[in-house]
Amino acid sequence: MSTSADSGDHYDLVCVGGGNAAGYLAKTLVDLDWAEGKKVAIVSGEPVAPYERPALSKAFLHPPGAKVRARLPGFHTSVGGGGDRQTPEWYDEHKIDLMLSTMAVSLDAGAGKLTVQGAGQSERAISFDKLVLATGAKALTPADIKTENPDLGNVFTIREEAEALEMVQTLEANQDNFKDIIIVGGGYIGMETAAAFSGWGFNVTMAFPEKHLMQRLFPESVAEVFENYFSAKGIKLMKESMVTGLVPSESDNSAVGGVKLKSGDVVNADAVIFGVGSRVDTSLAESAVKLGEGRTGGYAVDDSMRTSNDKIYAIGDVAALNGKSRYEHVDFCRKSAAQAATAIAEGRDMPKMDYLPYFYSRLFEYTETPLIFQFYGDSSTDGASIEVFGNVDAAMETSGNDKVPGFGAAWVDASTQTVRGLMYCNGTPEQYDTAKNAVLTSAKFSPTMLD
């Protein structure tokens, strides 16, 4: 294994990016025996081998004393998909060169050359036959969204393991000193982060500009169940509250002491976590290959995950399937990586990738009464209604100490009354399978379809 670009000039395949997709690409190339006798490299800016990134906002944040607290090497890829734990030794065994703490500086696609730079080293060029872009997305920082005083200490985002580890270690070291934690954002990451840190004993507040939690996905009645449960767990929700600035602490002007809202109000905070979205990272090759259509972003790829340059592939968050659709979820990272690896290893065009969008969340998983939901399909409301079903009334009245009964929402085609998307919370494995199949088969909606 190499931790920088120092092991030869030419590679049969170079993957830029060291996240979920890169790990599953390596797994599939090994499974298909393509990597044997080939020179393969993974160029990653992170100092650790590829890992299951969803853990960072889930079990990685569980409170001290929890039964499960994810730490490396425990969640290297591909344990999340039932595969081997691909530690650095695994890459050594399969003679895949890990260039860790190494940045891809520039790309000459025509010449098949990539300029890389390891930490503390000079730039150097490596060449390739195939290039796979797995650069993912970058978390939006306070500076990115023009927050006042963005560089104060004890302000965090969660995208990479090093960031999450620094945050957890800071909170562990100050568990007796810190009282108030503010989560900026009311979406997927904001909810998971707030749910985790409420178990630490901190006063947790969520501040977000939308009218309710997960406004991009949840209908209001579903959001209300989650909001009631979060409130019962002691989490304060500041809805329709835009954070515009960070305020220095009175005792240490280099550290955060609160957040300033658009209203002018200041809310005390000993630490602030931003979960306000991400931006797809196409900086390396945006002039070398075709990009996704309009606001889709990413690199346009065909069903083999091949870009407009037949030597270059894109996988994971950065891939725009047929130029039209991007999916920033781990399921697509895994499946697009396998699709590209198979196309490369077998030297063929892959059949149409009929991808079913899928993601999940596990909230309060360290307790006896978690909130776990899965979503399948299309959440667009264009030409669709959202039908809430199941035990939603009983769920609305559940206290923070009781298990929320199963309930869900279906995105129903207005003209055919068939299911286009389906979200279900606290279901059984059988119910989740039924939900998935209902979307796959465009089943007619029925309020009892998961009973």
pLDDT digits (tens, 9 = 90+) for 325-359: 999 999 999 999 999 999 999 999 999 999 999 99
Q: Is 210 exposed, middle or buried (0-12, 13-18, 19+ CB in 10 A)?
A: middle
Residue 7: is its pLDDT beyond 80? Answer: no
Q: What number is the average pLDDT over the span 72-92?
A: 97
Peptide bond into 415 cis (omega under 30): no
The yes-or-no answer to whether 10-136+281-346 and 368-440 have a common fold is no
pLDDT band at 424 (very low <50, low <70, confident <90, very high): very high
pLDDT at residue number 8: 55
The correct answer on CATH 3.40.449.10 for the domain covering 10-136+281-346 is no
Question: Which tokens belong to 448?
Answer: 């009892």
Name the nearest CA neighbour of 140 among 94, 107, 187, 210: 187
The residue ranges of every structural domain in the chain are: 10-136+281-346, 155-277, 368-440
Share of the chain above pLDDT 90, in %: 96
pLDDT digits (tens, 9 = 90+) for 286-334: 999 999 999 899 999 999 999 999 999 999 999 999 999 999 999 999 9
pLDDT digits (tens, 9 = 90+) for 151-196: 999 999 999 999 999 999 999 999 999 999 999 999 999 999 999 9
Level-2 CATH architecture, domain 368-440: 2-Layer Sandwich (3.30)
pLDDT at residue number 396: 87
Q: What number is the average pLDDT over the span 406-433?
A: 98
Cα torsion angle, 182, 186, 190, 195, sign: positive
Level-2 CATH architecture, domain 155-277: 3-Layer(bba) Sandwich (3.50)
pLDDT at residue number 4: 46
pLDDT at residue number 68: 95
Sort strands 299-301 and 278-280 into parallel, antiparallel or unpaired. Answer: unpaired
The residues near 235 (Cβ < 8 Å, ≥ 6 apart) are 194, 195, 198, 204, 205, 206
Q: What number is the average pLDDT over the span 32-58?
A: 98
